[in-house]
Structure 1
């Protein structure tokens, strides 16, 4: 009987080891960014001192505490937008009129265009967005800290730390936008809610957006291949024929992976609270 007992003990040890390995990597998303506290606080001081001093003095330590307090040591699938309320209040500042820039599926190009708030101020150019941009973060309910091994993706659970953060920040950004609002969409992104080979003003999902704007009484202009954005794209591909001619034709070359659709909204109602 003794050999059987040794076998059972070995089996139990193997089962515990497997379970622990699974728990260490249970989510499909990257784990919390190492040195998260140093990065967030460092970005905070950089923003208020060099990037956008016009926001005035901010308590960067209190901002960090509010940020981590929203999700640290919590079930990573039970973090809600309301958990970031204190963080939002501490980082809030004015968004200059006529400089709000909304976007979808063209992040790098948008930030090149906005130029850290000099031309436009996208969400990632505000203090609340600047601090968390390109970072990963989530807490762990099994210990008093962060999960550095993995974090849940939105497909695994919507109420995760990152999804809820950006929802809260996006709503706040929209509410504090005023004047002429800019929207830049990627007209050639595959998939999505209304999958089409390509989109442009007056067609497919863009037409749906235009219909919503008209119904709500927002006057707007819509431009395909907005010239300022096209010039930025040509910086990366200067030898392409589309960048060396004055042709008004649409992009047909395979190098142009993003067809920019630019919509300007004249917001006559002050802040976008609806």
Structure 2
């Protein structure tokens, strides 16, 4: 017996519905951030007007068009670093000498230290990184051109919109870094502070320019109350030191670099790791900051005279 037309139409509708539901959740990563255009353009104006006006005027609308043009309406697993070339060119600006700060597995601490480019300028403090930081994005064949339900992770496909974006940005950032540059590692990370593969090992260090970089400072920072997995000259940090030596870069390595350690201790003022044992008993590391604060306040007062 032949099925009726109604039955066939109903079956076809059900199959299409199932396929669409499968596509809606086909990837393991979060979908495109809602209101992506408003966020990117808003961040752009915020950056050039208040965060870092020294970069000069930028065409934020053109930057958005270049950004979305790299992946909108495309196969989410067929987006390549070269697709972001126009975006990189439109957002490019100078990175101050001696201010580059590279990192692995300690993003929050890095950005507390960099202070939006005031102390150092990590990739996320540049315009190209600032606009996309903490956002999710990928293309779709839907009417909007974006997949708001899910995006592929790097384990699902390497040539996805976000992975390719950060690869392109990392290469550019490394090529434009100069003078003494800093690398901050997390010494409490299971497996070691210098993972391979990683953005640092695969896309940043290979693009350091020997004629621009004079020295590299490695800071291996244990977490407060964290285990000591890595230290200078040991484990994965020793591997990083070997890589830098092989590439001809002079370096110094510091375990729990004091200035950064003091910053970590802001959240743990009473922790034993945030005090030093002197001959006269325990002395808080805050005492070491008094001369610094006096200098800052004097300079502030002179500015207001």
TM range (shorter): 0.7 to 0.9
How far apart are 1:262 and its partner, in Å? 24
**1:200–1:206: 8 Å Cα contact kept in structure 2?**
yes
Q: C-alpha separation between the residues in 1 aligned to 2:41 and 2:115? A: 22
Greater Cα shift, 205-214 or 119-128: 205-214
Query: C-alpha deviations, 1:114-140, integer Å up to 9, x for none?
Result: 000010000000000000000000111
In structure 1, list runs of 5 or more residues that go unmatched. none
**1:92–1:127: 8 Å Cα contact kept in structure 2?**
yes
Greater Cα shift, 167-176 or 240-249: 240-249
Say if 1:253 and 1:214 are closer, same or farther in 2 by CA, change over 3 A.
farther
Q: C-alpha separation between the residues in 2 aligned to 1:269 and 1:89? A: 37
Say if 1:195 and 1:162 are closer, same or farther in 2 by CA, change over 3 A.
closer
Q: C-alpha separation between the residues in 1 aligned to 2:298 and 2:176? A: 12
Say if 1:268 and 1:192 are closer, same or farther in 2 by CA, change over 3 A.
farther
Q: Secondary structure at the match of 1:255?
A: helix
How far apart are 1:211 and its partner, in Å? 1.0
How far apart are 1:39 and its partner, in Å? 0.5
How far apart are 1:20 and its partner, in Å? 1.6
Q: C-alpha separation between the residues in 2 aligned to 1:70 and 1:249? A: 62
Greater Cα shift, 244-253 or 57-66: 244-253
Q: C-alpha separation between the residues in 2 aligned to 1:262 and 1:218? A: 35
Moved over 6 A (4+): 2-9, 192-196, 247-274
Q: Alignment RMSD, CA only?
A: 8.6
**2:277–2:283: 8 Å Cα contact kept in structure 1?**
no
Q: Secondary structure at the match of 1:245?
A: strand
Say if 1:177 and 1:157 are closer, same or farther in 2 by CA, change over 3 A.
same
So what's the TM-score if we normalise by structure 1? 0.84
How far apart are 1:3 and its partner, in Å? 8.8
Say if 1:273 and 1:208 are closer, same or farther in 2 by CA, change over 3 A.
farther
Greater Cα shift, 73-82 or 135-144: 135-144
Say if 1:270 and 1:105 are closer, same or farther in 2 by CA, change over 3 A.
farther
So what's the TM-score if we normalise by structure 2? 0.76
- The total of aligned residue pairs comes to 272
**2:262–2:285: 8 Å Cα contact kept in structure 1?**
no
Query: C-alpha deviations, 1:160-204, integer Å up to 9, x for none?
Result: 0000000000000000000001000111212479889xx110011
